[in-house]
Amino acid sequence: MTLLCDAKTDGSFLVHHFLSFYLKANCKVCFVALVQSFSHYNIVGQKLGVSLTMARERGQLIFLEGLKSSVDVFFQAQEEPHPLQFLREASAGNLEPLYQFVREALRPVDDGEATWKCPVLLVDDLSVLLSLGLGAVAVLDFIHYCRATVCQELKGNVVALVHDSGDAEDEENNILLYGLSHQSHLILRAEGLATGFCKDVHGQLRILWRRPSKPTARQDQSLTYQYKIQDRSVSFFAKGMSPAVL
């Protein structure tokens, strides 16, 4: 599992990177998009060299558009449980329909369709579920079942974005962040600069490799880079080594 985290900055560029990366790698992708519309991701994807429209048409990309689906949940009768059915429930907390959607989207099929490489679940972003009334435990349970299915059973990967509000009193968000960190093998944490805005350096990225299933293994490894987001790419460099500085 790969955890994407942002603190005092926008880490959505990491989501776009992994989406385009896995599509180019010919992987089957289930994208649970709770923040932006399909057209937004498609426009950014085209700048990165992929077409989400074509990927969806050929069955490589299964896209759940949270903004549009939420309207359907409220105003249209549903014959079967909707993936976002919890929005209509008095006590939000049941993410089983969403899990079943992910499981069905990524399960292997043998009906003459194209053979894709490893399945990938991409979620942007889990913090939205907290804002919609779900508890951190319910979200962690959802990710636990997704990991068991996608990572263990199907030998794929789970990539999820979560925000670090930096508020010690936001217990639910802290529980979610710490819980996901313990489950993750790779953590990418985008942070704003402590010195404030800079046009040549947009932030720094902390990369942490973990071994949650092997506590006796050698210690975790970490690296820190600074970055600048450009129109079609992101430039990374060591601290103090920005081309503008040199």
Residue 108 pLDDT exceeds 80? yes
pLDDT band at 162 (very low <50, low <70, confident <90, very high): very high
pLDDT in tens, 43-82: 999 999 999 999 999 999 999 998 888 777 777 766 677 8
What is the rounded CA–CA span in Å between residue 217 and residue 28? 31
pLDDT in tens, 81-91: 788 888 877 56
Rounded to the nearest 5°, which phi and psi values hold at 245?
A: -75, -40
pLDDT on residue 245:
57
pLDDT in tens, 12-39: 999 999 999 999 999 999 999 999 999 9
Q: Maximum distance among all alpha carbons in the chain?
A: 62
Tokens encoding 44: 């950014």
pTM of structure:
0.89
pLDDT in tens, 163-173: 998 777 789 99
pLDDT on residue 133:
85
pLDDT on residue 218:
56
What is the rounded CA–CA span in Å between residue 216 and residue 214? 5
pLDDT on residue 194:
80
pLDDT in tens, 213-222: 565 555 678 8
pLDDT on residue 27:
95
